[in-house]
Chains A and B, each alone.
Chain A
Amino acid sequence: MPEIMIAKTVDKKKFADLAKAIVSRGYRLYGPVRNGGEVTLGEVGEEPEFDFDYRNFKMSPKEFFLPQSEVLCRFCRGELAEDAAPAPQKRVLLGLRPCDARAIWLLDKVFLEEPEDFYYKQKRENTVVISVACANPATTCFCTSVGGGPAAAEGSDILLFDLGEAFLLEAVSERGEEFLNQFSKMTKDATKKQVAQKKKIAEEAASRMEKLPLDGVAERLAKAFDSDLWEAPSQKCLGCGICTYFCPTCYCFDVTDETLRENGRRVRTWDSCMYSPFTLHASGHNPRPSQKERVRQRFMHKFSYAVDNSGQLFCVGCGRCIVNCPVNIDLREVIAP
C-alpha cells in the first residue's frame, strides 16, 4: 500500500455540503443509489444520502470504464462520419468497495498498456475513484485471498473510512491528493487517533475473512488443464453470461459494425466466454465446442493465464459470480486444491 499522502476528515453532517462543492467544481458525482433492497452506483440527486452500510453495489463499476455497449465511431459509405466519442466530463465515483477499485487497477493492466485503449484511457483519466473501506464483508467475500483487502488502495484515488461521527478521507494517489486539496477549506487534518482508528477498522474486517488456499494456484490449474476438475461445474453450467457480466474484471468484448444502408456504426459490446458464439470461427469450427472448454477457459484465464500475463490473479474476491449464479457454481469450490 502506498505511503499515506494526506488524510482529512469531514463531519458526517457536512458531507452533503462537500458533495455539493464537488458538483459545483464541475464534477459529475456518482454514488450509492438505493433501488428497493439493492444499491447501485448512479448519479446522485439533489439530496444525496451518504450511508455506506451496503455490502457492495449490485453490479460492478466496470460499466463506467468499459460500457456494456459503446459506439466507437460512425461511418458513412466507408468514410469516418465523425470523431470518436467526445471526452467525458470529469467525474467522481464515490462508494466503491476496494475490491471493485482493485478490479479497475487490474483493467488498467489490460487497457492502458501498449496498445493503449483510447476509449478506456479517456474515461479513466477523467475519473476520481473514492472507495469506502469495508467494515462488514459478506460471507461470500474473499478479497484477502486474491491480493486485496477491505482497505486496500489499488485502483482508488481516495479511501474513505467511516469513523462514526466523521468520515476520514485518505488520498492514495496523486490524483486523489490534488482532488482533496481543492476542498481543503471543508476538511480538517486527521488526528493521530483517527488514523489509528481507521487502521483498526481495516484490520478487524480483514481478520474476519476466510482465507482460501490459493498459493500456487496458477501452476496447479495449468497442470489440471486436461483433468476432470472441469466436469462437475461445466455439467451444470447453463451457459448464461451472469458470472462474466457481473465480474468486475471480465473485460472480453466484441466489436461489430452495424449498418443501415450507407450509414454504419462500430459498436463495442461486452462478450462472454460462457457463450458458444464467443469462439465460433467464420468457417463454422468452434475450438471450444462444449461448456467444458468454456468453463475451463474462464477459470484458467483468471487464475492462470492472467498470472502469466500480468503477474496478478484476475479475481478480486467480490463474490458476485457466486451469489448470482443460477445453479450455484461456486468459484471457491472449483479452484480449491
Chain B
Amino acid sequence: MSENVKMSDDLKAVAKKLFEEKKIDLLIGYEKGTLPLRTTPCFVTSAGDCDRLVWDGFCSNNLAVYLPRLFSREGRPKDWRPPRVAVVAKGCDGRSLVGLVKEKQAPRDNLIIVGVPCRGVVDLKKVQAALDGKEPAGGEIAEDGTLTVHVDGGKDIRLGRDEVIFDSCKGCPHPDAPVCDIRVGQELAEKQAEADFGDIADFEAKSSQERWDAFVAEISKCIRCYACRQACPNCYCTTCFAEQTQPRWIGVGKDLTEVMIYHLGRIFHQAGRCVDCGACVRACPMDIDLRLFTRKILKDVKELFGYEAGVSLEEPPPLCTFKMEDDQSFITEP
C-alpha cells in the first residue's frame, strides 16, 4: 500500500471516530478534485461521509480560511452555539489555526486540529510548465516525493519533488502543525533548518527606488479579483478597507495608485501574522509574487521581536504587546 493511500485511510478512520464519538459536527478536509492532480476542500458532516477524504501532496488549499465565517456571530441568533469543527491541517494550515484562535476568530474548545505531515504540495503551474503545452491526465506522488504525471497519448513524465513543490514549501520550517490535537501518520523527523530568507536577499539588497520598481512591476499585474485576500485565513475583516464606501479609502479603478494601496494595506496587515503558507500566491490567477513582500515583513518581525507566527497559543502577538527590550530604533528624535 502506498504511503498516500495509507495516510488517507488513517485519516478516514480518525474522522469516523470523531463523528462516532460525537465530538464534532463538521470536519473540513480534502477530497479528489475534478481536474487531474487536484483536490478540493470538502465539508464532511457524518461518519458515513468520511470515505470521501484524501490526503496527499495535491492538498494545497489552506483550510483554516473557512473558520472565521463558520464561527462568526454576525447575523446569527443570540442563543446560537458555535459548531465543533475538526480541520485537517498541514504545518502551515495548523499555524494559521493557531493565529485564528489567538485573534479570537475560532474558539479553541470548538476546534480539533487534525495534523497531517506535509512534505510540500504540488504547484500545478510548475507541472504545466514542464509538460510543454500538453494537458496532464493524472498522476501519483511516490514516497520520495517524485511526481509521475500521465499524459494522454504520451509517455509518463517524472518530476522530482523540488521541481514541483511550491516555492513556499521549500525550506518550510514546520512541516507538521505545531499545535495539534490528533496526529495522523508519523511526524516528519527531517525537520528543516530554520528559514534563512536567502530568497529575499536580492530584494533586500536593492535601493529603495529599485525595491519600489520591483513592487510596482509585480502589482501592475493585479486585476483586483481579491483572490489573495479571500484565500488568506488572516483576512477576515467583515468589510475590507478596499471596499468600504463610507468613507471610501481607495478608488474603484485599476489605476496603479488604487491597486497599490490595496496591496500595501493587505501586506502590512500581515505583520506578525503571516505564516507564509503561500495561499495568496496559489490563488492569484495573475502569478503575482506576493510572498516576496510578506516574506520581508516576516523576516523583519522575526529580527525585531524574535516572533514566529502560529507556533504557540500562549506567546502574545508582537504588535499587540510591549516589552521594554523591544527594538526602538525606529523612534527618532524630532
- What are the interface flags for B23-40 relative to A under an 8 Å C-beta threshold, 1 for contact and 0 otherwise? 000000000011100111
Residues of A within 8 A of B253 (CB): 69, 258, 267, 269
B129 touches A37 (CB 8 A): yes
Interface of B is mostly: loop
A240 touches B243 (CB 8 A): no
Let me know if B223 is at the binding interface, CB within 8 A: yes
Which of A81-89, A157-165, A212-220, A241-249 touches B?
A: A241-249
B230 touches A254 (CB 8 A): no
Instruction: Output the least CB separation between A284 and chain B (Å).
Output: 11
Residues of B within 8 A of A241 (CB): 224-227
Q: How many residues of A contact B (CB 8 A)?
A: 38
In the bound complex, CA of A239 to CA of B235 (Å): 12
In the bound complex, CA of A140 to CA of B251 (Å): 36
Interface residues of A in 234-266 (CB under 8 A from B): 235-236, 238-242, 245-246, 254, 256, 258
Let me know if A326 is at the binding interface, CB within 8 A: yes
Interface residues of A in 109-148 (CB under 8 A from B): 138-140
Of A289, A329, A332, which contacts B75 at CB under 8 A? A289
Residues of B within 8 A of A272 (CB): 225
B75 touches A37 (CB 8 A): no
Let me know if A327 is at the binding interface, CB within 8 A: yes
In the bound complex, CA of A328 to CA of B42 (Å): 11
Let me know if A324 is at the binding interface, CB within 8 A: yes
**A330 to chain B: closest residue by CB:** B34
**A258 to chain B: closest residue by CB:** B251
Let me know if A105 is at the binding interface, CB within 8 A: no
**B32 to chain A: closest residue by CB:** A328
Let me know if A5 is at the binding interface, CB within 8 A: no
Let me know if A46 is at the binding interface, CB within 8 A: no
B223 touches A326 (CB 8 A): no
- What are the interface flags for A49-67 relative to B under an 8 Å C-beta threshold, 1 for contact and 0 otherwise? 0000100000100000000
Of B61, B230, B255, B285, which contacts A239 at CB under 8 A? B230
Let me know if A80 is at the binding interface, CB within 8 A: no
In the bound complex, CA of A139 to CA of B136 (Å): 10
Interface residues of B in 61-93 (CB under 8 A from A): 61, 65-66, 69, 75
Instruction: Output the least CB separation between A322 and chain B (Å).
Output: 7
Residues of B within 8 A of A258 (CB): 251-253
Residues of B within 8 A of A323 (CB): 35
Residues of A within 8 A of B66 (CB): 235-236
In the bound complex, CA of A328 to CA of B223 (Å): 20
Residues of B within 8 A of A291 (CB): 69
- Size category of the B interface is 35 or more
Residues of A within 8 A of B20 (CB): none
Let me know if A194 is at the binding interface, CB within 8 A: no
A326 touches B255 (CB 8 A): no
B283 touches A240 (CB 8 A): yes
A242 touches B227 (CB 8 A): yes
In the bound complex, CA of A206 to CA of B275 (Å): 47
Interface residues of A in 318-337 (CB under 8 A from B): 322-324, 326-330, 332-333
Instruction: Output the least CB separation between B132 and chain A (Å).
Output: 9
Instruction: Output the least CB separation between A24 and chain B (Å).
Output: 32
B227 touches A332 (CB 8 A): no
Instruction: Output the least CB separation between B16 and chain A (Å).
Output: 20
Instruction: Output the least CB separation between A248 and chain B (Å).
Output: 14
B34 touches A328 (CB 8 A): yes
Let me know if B203 is at the binding interface, CB within 8 A: no
A240 touches B227 (CB 8 A): yes
In the bound complex, CA of A202 to CA of B255 (Å): 41
Of A232, A242, A275, A328, which contacts B243 at CB under 8 A? A275
A246 touches B252 (CB 8 A): no
Let me know if A312 is at the binding interface, CB within 8 A: no
Let me know if A277 is at the binding interface, CB within 8 A: yes
A139, A272, A322, A323: most-surrounded residue (chain B CB, <10 A): A139
In the bound complex, CA of A68 to CA of B239 (Å): 22
Interface residues of B in 240-265 (CB under 8 A from A): 243, 245, 251-255
A69 touches B231 (CB 8 A): no
Instruction: Output the least CB separation between A276 and chain B (Å).
Output: 8
In the bound complex, CA of A58 to CA of B23 (Å): 45
In the bound complex, CA of A68 to CA of B258 (Å): 14
Residues of A within 8 A of B254 (CB): 68-69, 269
Residues of A within 8 A of B43 (CB): 232, 235-236
B285 touches A242 (CB 8 A): yes
B34 touches A37 (CB 8 A): no
In the bound complex, CA of A328 to CA of B39 (Å): 7
Of B35, B75, B224, which contacts A140 at CB under 8 A? B35
* Inter-chain pairs besides A53-B133, A324-B285, A329-B40, 11 sampled, C-beta below 8 Å: A68-B254, A69-B253, A138-B135, A238-B283, A240-B225, A241-B227, A246-B285, A256-B251, A267-B253, A327-B40, A330-B34
- Contacts A/B (CB < 8 Å), 15 sampled: A235-B41, A238-B231, A240-B230, A241-B224, A241-B227, A242-B225, A245-B223, A258-B252, A275-B243, A327-B40, A327-B41, A328-B33, A328-B38, A329-B40, A332-B34
Name A's B-contacting residues (CB within 8 A): 37, 53, 59, 68-69, 138-140, 232, 235-236, 238-242, 245-246, 254, 256, 258, 267, 269, 272, 275, 277, 289, 291, 322-324, 326-330, 332-333
Which 6 A-B pairs give the minimum distances between C-beta atoms?
A240-B227, A69-B253, A328-B40, A326-B283, A330-B34, A240-B230
